[in-house]
Amino acid sequence: MKALLIIFLFAISGCGRESSPEGRSIIRDKQIVEQLDALKQQNRLFLDSVGILTKRIEKLERRR
């Protein structure tokens, strides 16, 4: 009886998303999308900063 209970518990615990290749790929894909979104945000901020610096440089050059 105890052996059946242990087998049953192992069977249930092995049914998560992480246990199948498809589940792992879904989790991995989700993480990749989150990383891409973070990189896109960083890129936007970087481009905004470059634009601001370019405007400041142009303004300083016109003063000469």
Q: How remote is the C-alpha of 60 from its chain's centroid?
A: 40
Domains of the chain, by residue range, sit at: 2-63
pLDDT at 49 over 90: yes
**Model confidence band, residue 51 (pLDDT cutoffs 50, 70, 90):** very high
Dihedrals phi, psi of 20, to nearest 5 degrees: -105, 150
In the block, residue with structure tokens 């990189």: 39
pLDDT at 11: 66
Q: What is the pLDDT of residues 5-40, one digit of tens each?
A: 777 666 666 666 666 788 889 999 999 999 999 999
pLDDT band at 56, cuts 50/70/90? very high
Evaluate whether 27 touches 17 at the Cβ level (below 8 Å): yes
| pLDDT of 59 higher than 70 | yes
